[in-house]
């Protein structure tokens, strides 16, 4: 009996190193590609809005429970992502390095999960052929690890949502596969909870129940009522998630002003329809757009060339021409062939269906703007379906030399592309410079690169980029608005107004241009036109901070202090700790004779921004009006000490 036990233990000891050796190789490959991202910066598409400048994340006074309220009843509902960012920011700080490190560590875990899922899946079709099972599972995970199309999901801090939803999605799927092989209702409960966590990380995780049914097909489980009954916990989670995403309108739930600002796709994501097909019936537009994206995503997974953060839909459609009308037929033919071969090549139909099911939320996006049309990040989980097909055919090659040669060549190509492409995400400049190399007419790329230069103080570079963008994409209205804002900040008000006019001639309801033109008119003391623009902007977007700030200032200049107070109180409901607005409120309250409120707001402004002498001198004036000359003198002297020129006669009057 003892000898048998030792023999069994010896066999296990021989098996385990092989698995851990393969896992180690996967880890080394992943680290080789992504470890360098720990030195990368945030990029100016969503990282600031969602992480570093998001009060939900960076404000310690906001409780963690608010993560579950933000964006509730919205398709972008992702409380676990906000929770992870908030905890990370509070404990590790605002440095981008650890955000990137955690992303690629999660990607490594996901790669290992794909490896174990592969073992289970291939064990069914390569029964008893342990070498082929391990090789197939390793190749599946290796392709998942090295594909260049996953770089966007891993190297972009904002895409923590991809990392988290995939972690729970793959874990739940693996648990269900274990249930299929050895039924235990506790596994169903565990899998359902993991599915819930996946859905609370990103809405693309909602597709898991359909993947479970596909798994039943893969394992050739007999169609029965039991297959549906056992999945009731998953369907219950599905309904709960649909309700949380606002897909089931049992009640009306308004999104709070602050919440509505917490999700923003890459700048320009909602730009324009596809010009080539925009005159067709809407349903046909959706079918053609989805068909083209479906085929091109597969092609890009297989041939990952010309990697970019932006793929311009109009350029792609112009290049494809009338062949786009053949894409639905091509897809139908693909599925027809796959279905006909379902018994001899089960991986073909299973892989295609997995790809389709998991990609369906992205395919369902009707407004395919440039920044979301063909984004690589949407393939993170769906690509497993294509890799499943590729691996099946690789393993089926009878000649081992050819099999290893093709597999090795695929690895070398994908790995070398990824090693280069990951560097595009080093910062905003490298990201959009690369995008413009791929498509020099991409207005979105010019917009984001110019915005980056302007925010980092490289004003002349920003002007050059915006100007070049207007030359290459003259119909892209945001470029005129952003260039106008640069000129406005330089004091070139007339130039700015001309550019805002051009922007609004292309899109008359663009709120940012209206708000900025209103401010420009205010600089020229044309308050009537200023208020006309700002009123229209606030009708379109009542919570637009720029419009509220500018209109409040115009009201202040025109001595409509009550209206200034109304606008600024509204502003502070959205951003409670803006010291400049709080200081202006304190000044406005003094003008309407509410001196106690004036002192209160000016004191708050000083606490938030102690190095601003204007708040001290304004509080001094209020104290003086109230008859407290001692406090008035102290504040006046403090303002003078900080470098402000204070009228000496005023100081002398306070000393009497």
Give me the average pLDDT of each 10-residue run along the chain (656 residues): 44 56 96 97 90 92 93 92 96 96 98 97 90 94 98 97 98 97 94 98 96 96 90 96 81 31 34 64 86 95 93 81 91 97 94 97 68 84 98 94 96 97 97 93 92 94 97 94 96 96 96 96 95 96 94 95 96 92 96 95 95 94 93 93 91 86
Our CA angle for 166, 155, 192, nearest 5°, is: 10
Whole-Å CA distances, 70 to 55, 91, 573 = 11, 21, 16
DSSP label of 126: S
- Tell me if 348 sits within 8 A of 342, measured CB to CB: yes
Q: Point out the domain boundary residue: 423, 442, 459.
A: 423
- Which pLDDT does position 5 carry in this prediction? 44
Q: In which element (H, E) is residue 10 found? A: helix 2-34
Residue 252 domain flag: yes
Query: Tokens for 191?
Result: 């899998």
- Tell me if 141 sits within 8 A of 112, measured CB to CB: yes
Four-residue CA torsion sign, 172, 178, 179, 184: negative
CB atoms within 10 A of CB 543: 16
Residue 541 domain flag: no
- Tell me if 327 sits within 8 A of 295, measured CB to CB: yes
DSSP label of 578: -
Q: How many domains does the chain have?
A: 2
pTM of the model: 0.86
Residue 463 domain flag: no
Residue 254 domain flag: yes
Q: How many CA atoms lie within 13 A of 107 on its CB side?
A: 37
Query: Tokens for 345?
Result: 């090549």
Buried b (16+ CB within 10 A) or exposed e, 614-629: bbbbbbbbbbbeeebb
DSSP label of 52: I
State how far the Cα of 638 lies from the Cα of 536, in Å rounded to an integer: 42
Longest dimension (CA), the chain: 106
**Domain CATH number, residue 622:** 1.25.40.10
Rounded to 10°, the helix 185-199/208-218 angle is 140
Residue 197 domain flag: yes
- Which pLDDT does position 606 carry in this prediction? 95
DSSP label of 348: H
- Tell me if 308 sits within 8 A of 439, measured CB to CB: yes
- Which pLDDT does position 304 carry in this prediction? 96
- Which pLDDT does position 281 carry in this prediction? 85
Range of the domain at 647: 577-656
Q: Point out the domain boundary residue: 372, 402, 423.
A: 423
Residue 433 domain flag: no
DSSP label of 67: G
Closest CA to 483 of 468, 497, 499, 471: 499
Sequence-distant contacts of 527-533: CB under 8 A, at least 24 apart: 527/554, 527/557, 527/558, 530/554
Residue 543 domain flag: no
Q: Point out the domain boundary residue: 370, 390, 423.
A: 423
Residue 442 domain flag: no
């Amino acid at each position: 009996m003892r000898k048998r036990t030792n023999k069994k233990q010896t066999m296990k000891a021989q098996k385990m190193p092989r698995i851990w050796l393969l896992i180690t190789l996967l880890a080394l490959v992943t680290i080789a590609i992504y470890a360098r991202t720990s030195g990368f910066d945030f990029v100016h598409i969503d990282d600031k809005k969602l992480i570093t400048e998001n009060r939900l994340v960076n404000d310690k006074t906001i409780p963690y429970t608010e993560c579950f309220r933000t964006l509730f009843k919205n398709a972008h509902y992702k409380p676990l992502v906000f929770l992870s960012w908030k905890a990370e920011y509070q404990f590790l700080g605002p440095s981008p390095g650890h955000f990137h490190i955690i992303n690629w560590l999660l990607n490594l875990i996901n790669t290992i999960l794909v490896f174990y899922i592969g073992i289970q899946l291939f064990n069914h079709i390569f029964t008893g052929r342990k070498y082929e099972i391990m090789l197939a599972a390793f190749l599946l995970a290796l392709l998942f690890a090295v594909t260049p199309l996953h770089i966007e999901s891993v190297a972009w801090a904002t895409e923590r949502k991809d990392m988290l939803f995939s972690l729970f999605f793959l874990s739940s799927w693996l648990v269900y596969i274990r249930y299929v092989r050895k039924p235990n209702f506790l596994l169903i409960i565990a899998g359902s909870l993991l599915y819930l966590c996946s859905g609370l990380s990103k809405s693309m995780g909602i597709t898991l129940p359909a993947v479970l049914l596909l798994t039943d097909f893969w394992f050739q489980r007999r169609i029965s009522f039991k297959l549906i009954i056992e999945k009731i916990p998953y369907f219950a989670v599905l309904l709960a998630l649909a309700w949380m995403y606002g897909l089931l309108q049992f009640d009306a739930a308004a999104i709070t002003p602050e919440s509505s600002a917490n999700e923003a796709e890459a700048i320009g994501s909602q730009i324009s329809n596809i010009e080539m097909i925009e005159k067709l019936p809407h349903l046909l537009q959706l079918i053609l757009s989805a068909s083209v994206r479906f085929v091109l995503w597969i092609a890009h997974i297989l041939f990952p060339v010309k990697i970019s953060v932006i793929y311009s839909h109009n350029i792609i459609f112009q290049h494809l021409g009338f062949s786009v009308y053949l894409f639905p037929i091509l897809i139908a033919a693909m599925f027809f062939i796959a279905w006909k071969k379902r018994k001899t090549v089960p991986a073909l139909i299973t892989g295609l269906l997995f790809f389709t099911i998991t990609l369906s939320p992205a395919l369902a996006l009707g407004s395919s703007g440039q920044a979301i049309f063909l984004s690589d990040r949407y393939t993170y989980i769906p690509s497993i379906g294509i890799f499943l097909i590729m691996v099946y055919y690789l393993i089926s090659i009878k000649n081992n030399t050819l099999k290893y040669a093709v597999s090795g060549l695929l690895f070398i190509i994908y790995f070398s592309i990824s090693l280069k492409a990951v560097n595009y995400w080093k910062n905003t400049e490298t990201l959009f410079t690369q995008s413009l190399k791929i498509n020099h007419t991409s207005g979105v790329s010019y917009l984001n690169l110019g915005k980056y230069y302007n925010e980092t103080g490289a004003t002349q570079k920003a002007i050059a980029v915006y100007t070049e963008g207007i030359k290459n994409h003259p119909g892209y209205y945001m470029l005129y608005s952003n260039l106008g804002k640069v000129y406005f900040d330089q004091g070139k008000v007339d130039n700015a107004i001309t550019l805002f006019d051009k922007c609004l001639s292309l899109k008359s309801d663009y709120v940012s241009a209206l708000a900025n033109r209103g401010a420009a008119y205010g600089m020229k003391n044309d308050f009537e036109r200023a208020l006309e623009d700002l009123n229209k902007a606030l009708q379109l977007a009542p919570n637009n901070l720029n419009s509220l700030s500018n209109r409040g200032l115009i009201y202040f200049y025109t001595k409509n202090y009550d209206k200034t107070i109304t606008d600024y109180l509204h502003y502070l409901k959205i951003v409670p700790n803006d010291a400049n607005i709080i200081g202006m409120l304190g000044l406005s309250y003094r003008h309407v004779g509410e001196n106690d409120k004036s002192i209160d707001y000016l004191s708050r402004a000083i606490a938030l921004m102690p190095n601003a002498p204007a708040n001290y001198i304004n509080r001094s004036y209020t104290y003086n009006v109230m008859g407290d000359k001692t406090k008035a003198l102290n504040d006046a002297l403090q303002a003078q000490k900080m470098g402000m020129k204070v009228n000496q006669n005023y100081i002398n009057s306070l000393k009497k």
